[in-house]
Amino acid sequence: MKFLLFLISSAVFFTVNVSAQSTTDSTAYYISYPEKLTGRFYFSRKYTGMGLKKEERDYWYMPNSTLNMGAGLTYQNLTLNLATGFGFLNPERGRGDSKYLDLQAHAYPKNLVIDLFGQFYNGYYLSRPENYLNTSEYNVFPDMKMRKVGASVQYLFNGDKFSYRAAFLQNEWQQKSAGSFLAGFEIYGGQVRNQNGILPLAEQGELFGQIKFIEFGPNLGYAYSLIIKKHFFITLSAASSLSLGRTAMQFEAEGQRSNWGIRPNYFLRGFTGYNSEKWSVNVNYVYNQVNLSPVAGYKVNAGTGNYRLNLIYRFSPGPRLSRKLEWIDSLKARVLGR
């Protein structure tokens, strides 16, 4: 039975020293709407997969995660999204049954980019089996478990002109092209295990059933928004790190083998669509890949993705709703010391 907890896909972050920019300000690179509600209807899919390679063998393990439909609201940089995977969106394709809790928070205060990950997946299948097993049927691993937790915090050097929120949260409107360098720090840890072995039975030359890892290090990147005729936008972002990490693999015959190493990880984001004062339609994709230190000739990576189609409408809350939202304004004032 497919399982998806209601997703609280963003967290609370109050942006310091940010005031609403007027739509009449011709010098503004982007416009903020702190007093408006940003409502969204969306489709999304999250996943965390694993790549495993040795010599000519290259495997990609994927969970049978669901395509979700949901709705959400953003107000004063507080975002709440709720979604679930309906059956009519997810027909049976022989990929097995995955149970999972996928927690991703992507927060964008004015001069920061904060990403938090908590992936807890049970049940995987071997994607593209015809490439190495000469079969069109999926090889299913119902007992395979993957855990990945981590965080990345980056400083956005040009937050006065470049807005991630316009592309991802849609509570702002980027009206002029702009870009920014990013620099920060990240840390990830986790494990993959399967009591029946991680490799397919037909390929198990040497048996191993567990992989553990931890990685940390600095990262550097760049983001840019191309604005076409004020309303159409393409926002791309890429960051890479040089992380020190340890990987340990548990072999049946040899016991545990481990290795320390320095490996590059990368974080990619892409957003495109149409934005205006009230309406926005866009698609976005966020992908994070952690490359582990090789052990016994095995190269392993953990990839976490999140893609989404959004239909956005911004509106002013009525008097009754405004009164109910006053606690958010009061909390923000206390945080900012006003």
Percent of the chain predicted with pLDDT > 90: 63
Identity at 259, one-letter amino acid code? N
**More confident site: 261 or 22:** 261
Residue at 130: amino acid letter: E
Question: What are the φ/ψ torsions at residue 158 (nearest 5 degrees)?
Answer: -125, 50
Question: Is pLDDT above 90 for 324?
Answer: no
Taking only the tens place, the pLDDT of each residue in 172-220 is: 999 999 999 999 999 999 999 998 889 887 666 678 999 999 999 999 9
Q: What angle do CA 331, 332, 335 make, to 5 degrees?
A: 85
Fold of 30-336: Lipocalin (2.40.128)
Q: Single out the residue of 271, 245, 277, 243 nearest to residue 258, CA to CA.
A: 245
**Residue 67 φ/ψ, nearest 5 degrees:** -80, 125
- Residue 219: half-sphere exposure toward Cβ, Cα within 13 Å: 33
What's the whole-number mean pLDDT along residues 7-27? Answer: 39
- What is the pTM assigned to this prediction? 0.85
Q: What are the beta bridge partners of residue 10? A: none
Q: Supply the pLDDT for residue 26.
A: 52
Is-contact 329 317, C-beta < 8 A?
A: no
Q: Are 267 and 288 in contact (CB under 8 A)?
A: yes
Calculate the average pLDDT of the chain: 86
Tens of pLDDT, residue by residue over 180-191, are 999 999 999 999
Q: Please state, in angstroms and rounded to a whole number, the distance separating the CA atoms of residues 168 and 126.
A: 31
Burial class from Cβ neighbours inside 10 Å (0-12, 13-18, 19+) for residue 244 reads middle
Q: In terms of DSSP H, where are the helices of the chain? A: 164-168, 319-324, 326-336
- Reported residue count of the chain is 338
Q: What is the mean pLDDT of residues 113-133?
A: 84
DSSP 181-222: EEEEEEEEEEEEE-TT-SS-GGG-SS-EEEEEEEEEEEEEEE
Per-residue pLDDT reduced to its tens digit, 73-90: 988 778 888 999 998 899
Check residue 202 and give its pLDDT.
64
Q: Region 268-282: what's the mean pLDDT? A: 95
Strand partners, 264: 242
pLDDT category of residue 289 using cuts at 50, 70 and 90: very high
- Please give the backbone phi and psi of residue 253, each rounded to the nearest 5 degrees, phi first: -90, -40
Per-residue pLDDT, 248:
97
By mean pLDDT, which of 9-23, 25-39, 136-150, 322-336 is the weakest? 9-23
Residue 231 has pLDDT above 50, yes or no: yes
Checking if the pLDDT of 331 tops 80, the result is: no
pLDDT band, residue 8 (cuts 50/70/90): very low
Residue 255 near residue 103, CB atoms below 8 Å: no
User: Three-state SS for 270?
Assistant: strand
Q: Which residue has the tokens 């959400």?
A: 72
